[in-house]
Amino acid sequence: MVLIAVAASTAAAFWELVVVLQEGTQAYRLGSWAPSIGIEYVVDRLSAFVAVIVTSVSVLVIIATRRIAEREAGDRLGAFYSLVLLLLAGLTGMVVTGDLFNLFVFLEISSLAAYALVFQGGRSAMLAGYRYLILGSIGGSFYLLGVGFLYFTTGTLNMADTAAALALDASARSVQAGAIFIFAGLGLKMALVPLHLWLPDAYTHAPSSVNSLIAPVMTKVGAYAMMRMFISVFPDGYLTNVVPIADALLWLGLIAIVFGAIIAVAQRDIRRMLAYSSIGQLGLIAVGIGLATPLSFVAAQLHLMNHAVMKATLFLSAASVRLSTGLNDVSDLTGMGRRMPGTMAAFTLGAIAMVGIPPTAGFFSKWYLVQAGVESGHWVVVAVVLASSLLSAVYLFRVLEHIYLRPAQPDAVHAPVVIPQGGSNDQPAGAGESPADVIAPALLLGAATIVLGILNSWIVINVLGRAGL
Amino acid sequence: MSETFSSAGPVIVVAIPAAGATLVALSGRWPNVRDTWSTIAALAMLAAVVAMLPGVLDGRIPQATLLELAPGIDVTLRADAAGMIFALLASGLWVVAGVYAVGYMRGGNEHKQTRFFAAFALSLAAAGGVALAGNLLTFVLFYELLSLFTYPLVTHRQTEEAIVAGRKYLAYTLSGGVLLIGGTAWIAILGIDASFTAGGFLRNASLSTGTAWALFALLVAGVGVKSAVMPLHSWLPSAMVAPTPVSALLHAVAVVKAGVFGMIRMLAFVFGADMLNDMGAWQVIAAFSAVTLVAGSLLAIRHDNLKRRLAYSTISHLSYIVLGVAIVGPIALTGALLHLVGHGVTKITLFFVAGAIHTRTHRENVSELDGIGRQMPITMGAFTLASLSMAGIPPFVLFTSKFYLSWGAAEVEKQLFLVLYLVSGVLSAAYLFPIVVRAFWRTSDAFTRFGEADMRMVAPLVITGVLALAWGLVPDVPFSFFDLATDVSSAAFPDSASVAGAR
Amino acid sequence: MIDDVAARFPFWMSGLLIAIGLYGMIGKRSLLKKLVGMNIFQSAIILFFIAGSIREDATVPILLEAGHGVAAANPADFVNPLPHVLMLTAIVVSVAITGVALAFLVRIHHEFGTTDEASLLEQVRR
């Protein structure tokens, strides 16, 4: 049932993308109220693109984690999936709305569902979930405060109308305040350094079925919202010249790239390593937004897609390992190449893409970002983006060494963490590969990293709308 | 002059080893089938390359355009004369190296042979892609894949030492790779068409001096890592921990030749003679490669471990090639290309011998090799041929190439390097001839139990040793290396009259 | 100066409450007090919006005469109703979050026996 709902949503997203590409931006008025009074949904290329990404990755993750969810949620499976659907509704709602306050509502819906989902992860998840709740609420409230400032200045909540009003006159101090609070709120939601503190614990301790879902998509939608502010709300140049939000994004992003990668190297738990890796990768997206040129936005959007796919692959691989053996540490992966070849193949594909070997998708994210850096004369960007490939290689290839090059330790398997349901799902110690419905989506996502890389030019030109250079 | 026509040939050259790798991976359970696939793939790749040869010599260049990989840039494979030289060398030596590898791996009962041969084939596919790449992005694509596919080969033994060597290998090659990526992306955003053009495609791009130097640093350092130019060389001796067929592959065929080939592409096809002279950039490379040439040889003399000695010898000889291109002259370029081929076939012989000795006797150090010539005369005979070639004794192939390199230096009035080349032969002799002397003129009882190694290892090294001599006498048989080299030089230096000198 | 403060009194209060709320969320060790801080913080934002809807000499936005054709009613006589509506939504969101947070607290207390952050951290790290 859940699958039907999510699959239908995915199909709708793809359909919408096709429509938008052919006919231009679509708009829908809730209750047929005119925009200033009613809430308007606006789907342009960017919205459709992000919606497709969020829904398709979610579908695959939900398929893959079905067994895991059954084990982890037990008899609360119904409530669990309700929360998952709520989460997705919130995320897709954020993507398609054209109203600032509506964005807040969907933001809080998805966040609330996420808090509850993260909390399911057992003892250590409780404190992580609670902290996530507190910090996340701060973010949402800051965003709301920022919207308030904007509303009182422009008199409208509709994004397009706000843009028109600000284009006429954006000199008021309250607009600056609004911009800053919105930036703070969305920055926290997209885990921009130093507002990232909720992320490592939440991703590490959440149940496998949850972090595989949240990690690829939640922060991306936050980044999307930030992009939306740049593109559709504030006038061109306002966020660069008047209030230096763009510069803040740029520099915090650069710091995040380096910080995330370095801390990731020091981690023993795979999930925590991937969490810090995500912080670093989000830095890349932030840099793309912060450079604030058409090319850099394309780079940020492309990396939004690429990273969602790559991280989903990696988290699903980790989830598969946890399902089969109950293990979490990098050192526990020693010799897994023999025992879980499919899962490890997926992990390898994800890792190679993260490092950025052509023709995987990760390579092209860096390609466009480097070009954006050259174009704006920010040589630091070029250097840091190129260095991030090497830094990612350090912590990812170390894992690959364990998987393929070091001999397996026969005593390394613990019993699975969650109680087996009995029957064929019982995995004795020394377990082998996970079932096909767990590995197949992971491998599919891994293959997608290569396919999306090869198709990147088509995507950039036709979907994101950037013609030639 | 030369015209380009559309053909699937270049794609087939790269596709064959890739398909071969798949077949190898699938037939892991039947070792004989698997190794047959490996050999067939090598022969087929060679055949595909040779098939394009007559056309290229005639001036008809096959080109295949695949998908658009970045906006405005296609993946293009083009078999021009320079690419043909590298492709012929790579595919030809793969045939012998493949047979040798089977003998070595089975003789040593090595583990994970399927992974080994599959990675071997993929590395050759990547090398073929590097050879036939028609523009910078395609080049970078295959260059990075080459780093990736050779990693499992370097770390094959899976010992702690191998893993550490693998890390160093990756650290160096990936770092070089990101520099290349930076340069390539930069050129692309400037809107310059990055198709390799003899004479340099940046020549007409009117770059500012700062930009030109920055691009120079990025691109040259990027290929400089795999070319083992000092100080970017230290991954190479560490990588000797790999099984000998890998060292032979890395040192003669795939990785380092891809590096110097890349250097040739950057210097002659991206920047071009005019830019290098105007910027004075040739002096930078000439300086680094000259130092490497001498220092590599001196370090080779110091090392007792045979493979390490050969590693430093390679570092030195690669700089012969780099220096030849840096000198910026048509004859020197011809010499550099000939040296690429000659060193490949000569060095692989030396490594084959080292591996044969190790398999038979488990000896690794020169000091342990007294009298081995008595027991393994054929093997050490080939070693002697190769040593004579490395020292540049006529009529071996490396004499021919050094002749052109020296003449080339004189031609553009850079006599310093002429002297350097002449002196270098002495150095090469200094670290190789003592081995020959020890093998044949000293006696010891250590080797009386051993005979020659397995035929699958001895036959290849005899073939390559003889080629080192034969290609010195008739470099155009059967692959027209000399003609191809002069084609490249005349294309890169269209105004020069002195290109195709008679022998 | 006093006039400025007095005129914008609700906004200054709002700012003060934000500060108190943030202090509570970050500075207090007890998870329950953090929650209280969060509530104060959210209330502050609600206050901000409501304060922004105030107009001089305006009354509550309820039309007393029913039926159509009441176009004669002057919008300037009424306080801006939209922020009130928005804040209803925000209150609902706040209540939901608070509810979830309280559920979390109950579970945490059940599991660990304490809601003090420091000792929780200790127990979890073990």
Using alpha carbons, list the distances in angstroms from residue A110 to A165, A214, A269, B375, C89. Answer: 30, 10, 27, 78, 15
Structure tokens at A59: 């579908």
Whether B85 contacts B484, CB under 8 Å: yes
Q: Which of A368, A386, A461, A464 is most worth mutating to test chain B (most B CB atoms within 10 A of its CB)? A: A386
**Which member of A352, A371, A374 has the closest CB to residue B148?**
A352
Nearest CA in chain C to A131: C31
CA distance A291 to C125: 40
**Which member of A105, A116, A151 has the closest CB to residue C100?**
A116
**Contact state of A127 with C124 under an 8 Å Cβ cutoff:** yes
Tell whether A138 lies on the interface with C, counting CB pairs under 8 A.
yes
Mean per-residue pLDDT, B65-76: 85
Mean per-residue pLDDT, B54-73: 85
Whether A120 contacts A202, CB under 8 Å: no
Q: With 50 as the cut, is the pLDDT of residue A420 above it?
A: no
pLDDT score at B221:
92
β-bridge mates for residue A26, sequence order: A43
Mean per-residue pLDDT, B90-99: 89
Task: Tell whether B100 is covered by a domain.
Answer: no
CA distance B333 to B489: 6
**Which member of A116, A141, A157 has the closest CB to residue C42?**
A141
β-bridge mates for residue A27, sequence order: A42
Tell whether B122 lies on the interface with A, counting CB pairs under 8 A.
no
**Contact state of C101 with A133 under an 8 Å Cβ cutoff:** yes
Q: At a CB cut-off of 8 Å and minimum separation 6, what does B437 contact? A: none
Residue C31 Cα, gap to closest chain A Cα (Å): 8
Structure tokens at B146: 């080459």
**Contact state of B178 with A389 under an 8 Å Cβ cutoff:** yes
Whether A238 contacts A170, CB under 8 Å: yes
- Tens-digit pLDDT profile for residues A171-201: 888 888 999 999 999 999 999 989 899 999 9
Angle ∠(C107,C109,C114) on CA atoms, nearest 5 = 155
**How many beta-carbon pairs below 8 A join chains A and B?**
88
Q: What percent of chain B has pLDDT over 90?
A: 19
Mean pLDDT, chain A, integer: 85
Nearest CA in chain A to C54: A152
Structure tokens at B418: 């002429």
Task: Tell whether B469 is covered by a domain.
Answer: yes
For residue A213, the tally of other CB atoms under 10 A from its CB is 28
Q: What percent of chain B has pLDDT over 70?
A: 96
pLDDT score at A429:
42
**Contact state of B171 with A390 under an 8 Å Cβ cutoff:** yes
Q: How confident is the model at residue B263 (pLDDT cuts 50, 70, 90)?
A: very high
* Domain count for chain B: 1
Q: What is the DSSP letter of B6?
A: E
* pTM of the full structure: 0.89
Q: With 60 as the cut, is the pLDDT of residue A285 above it?
A: yes
Query: What domain range includes position B443?
Result: 280-503
pLDDT score at B176:
93
With CA atoms as reference, report the closest residue to A56 among A281, A222, A223, A217. Answer: A217
For residue A216, the tally of other CB atoms under 10 A from its CB is 27
CA distance B477 to A235: 70
Whether B485 contacts B334, CB under 8 Å: yes
CA distance B487 to B81: 6
Identify whether A194 is preceded by a cis peptide bond (ω within 30 of 0): yes
Please state which of the ranges A88-92, A187-191, A288-292, B448-452 shows the lowest mean pLDDT: B448-452
**Which member of B70, B174, B188 has the closest CB to residue A390?**
B174
**Contact state of B145 with A358 under an 8 Å Cβ cutoff:** yes
Whether B143 contacts B130, CB under 8 Å: yes
Residues of B in contact with A386 (CB under 8 A): 178-179, 181-182
Mean per-residue pLDDT, A113-134: 90
Q: With 80 as the cut, is the pLDDT of residue C39 above it?
A: yes
**Which member of C45, C100, C111 has the closest CB to residue A144?**
C45
Q: Which helix (H) or strand (E) holds A375?
A: helix A361-376
Residue C104 Cα, gap to closest chain A Cα (Å): 7
Question: Which domains can be identified in chain C, with CATH numbers?
Answer: 2-56+76-125 (1.10.287.3510)
Mean per-residue pLDDT, B38-49: 90
Q: With 90 as the cut, is the pLDDT of residue A143 above it?
A: yes
pLDDT score at A303:
94
C and B touching (3 or more beta-carbon pairs closer than 8 Å): no
CA distance B156 to B239: 11
Mean per-residue pLDDT, A85-101: 91
Task: Tell whether B320 is covered by a domain.
Answer: yes
Chain A residues within 8 Å of chain B (Cβ atoms): 295, 352, 355-359, 363-364, 366-367, 370-371, 374-375, 382, 386-387, 389-390, 393, 397, 401, 404-407, 454, 456-458, 460-461, 466-469
User: What is the rounded radius of gyration, in angstroms, for the C-alpha atoms of chain C?
Assistant: 21
**How many beta-carbon pairs below 8 A join chains A and C?**
75
**Which member of C41, C42, C97 has the closest CB to residue A133?**
C97
pLDDT score at B447:
59
Mean per-residue pLDDT, A118-134: 89
- Tens-digit pLDDT profile for residues B469-499: 888 787 777 777 888 888 888 888 877 655 4
CA distance B328 to B330: 7
Residue type, A410: P
CA distance A216 to A207: 15
Most confident of A7-11, B314-318, B423-427: B314-318
Residues of C in contact with A123 (CB under 8 A): 111-112, 124
Q: How confident is the model at residue A31 (pLDDT cuts 50, 70, 90)?
A: low
**For B407-434, b where at least 16 C-beta lie within 10 A, e where not — what string?**
bbbbbbebeebbebbeebbebbbebbee
- Tens-digit pLDDT profile for residues C69-121: 555 667 777 888 888 989 999 999 999 999 999 999 998 888 888 778 777 77
Residue type, A382: V
Whether B75 contacts B15, CB under 8 Å: no
List chains adjacent to chain B, taking adjacency as at least 3 C-beta pairs closer than 8 Å. Answer: A
User: What is the four-CA torsion angle of A140, A145, A151, A157, rounded to 10 degrees?
Assistant: 10
Residues of C in contact with A152 (CB under 8 A): 52
**Which member of A370, A389, A460 has the closest CB to residue B185?**
A370
Structure tokens at A217: 């998509």
Q: Residue A428 — φ and ψ, nearest 5°?
A: -75, 165
CA distance B475 to C17: 87
Domain-wise residue ranges, chain A? 1-240, 244-416+430-469
Pinpoint the alpha helices (H) of B265-329.
272-279, 281-302, 306-326
Q: How confident is the model at residue A416 (pLDDT cuts 50, 70, 90)?
A: very low
Nearest CA in chain A to C82: A37
pLDDT score at A468:
46
Residues of A in contact with B67 (CB under 8 A): 454, 457
Mean per-residue pLDDT, A300-310: 93
Mean pLDDT, chain B, integer: 86
Tell whether C23 lies on the interface with A, counting CB pairs under 8 A.
no
Residue C65 Cα, gap to closest chain A Cα (Å): 22
B and A touching (3 or more beta-carbon pairs closer than 8 Å): yes
Residue A405 Cα, gap to closest chain B Cα (Å): 5
**Contact state of B71 with A457 under an 8 Å Cβ cutoff:** yes
E strands present in B160-270: none
Nearest CA in chain A to B72: A468
Using alpha carbons, list the distances in angstroms from residue B150 to A370, B24, B113, B177, B444. Answer: 27, 16, 14, 14, 39
Three-state secondary structure call for residue C28: coil
Q: Are strands A26-29 and B3-6 parallel, antiparallel or unpaired?
A: unpaired
Three-state secondary structure call for residue B5: strand
Q: With 50 as the cut, is the pLDDT of residue B452 above it?
A: yes
With CA atoms as reference, report the closest residue to B181 among A289, A255, A262, A373. Answer: A373
Q: Are strands B73-78 and B60-70 parallel, antiparallel or unpaired?
A: antiparallel
Q: With 60 as the cut, is the pLDDT of residue B449 above it?
A: yes
Task: Tell whether B325 is covered by a domain.
Answer: yes
User: ipTM of the predicted structure?
Assistant: 0.90
**Contact state of A138 with C41 under an 8 Å Cβ cutoff:** yes
N- to C-terminal Cα distance for chain B? 24
Whether A207 contacts A72, CB under 8 Å: yes
E strands present in chain C: none
Tell whether A172 lies on the interface with C, counting CB pairs under 8 A.
no
Q: At a CB cut-off of 8 Å and minimum separation 6, what does A181 contact? A: A142, A143, A145, A146, A149
User: What is the rounded radius of gyration, in angstroms, for the C-alpha atoms of chain A?
Assistant: 21
pLDDT score at B500:
47
Three-state secondary structure call for residue A237: coil
Taking only residues 64 to 123 of chain A, the set having a beta carbon closer than 8 angstroms to any beta carbon of chain C reads 101, 104-105, 108, 112, 115-116, 119, 123
For residue A248, the tally of other CB atoms under 10 A from its CB is 18
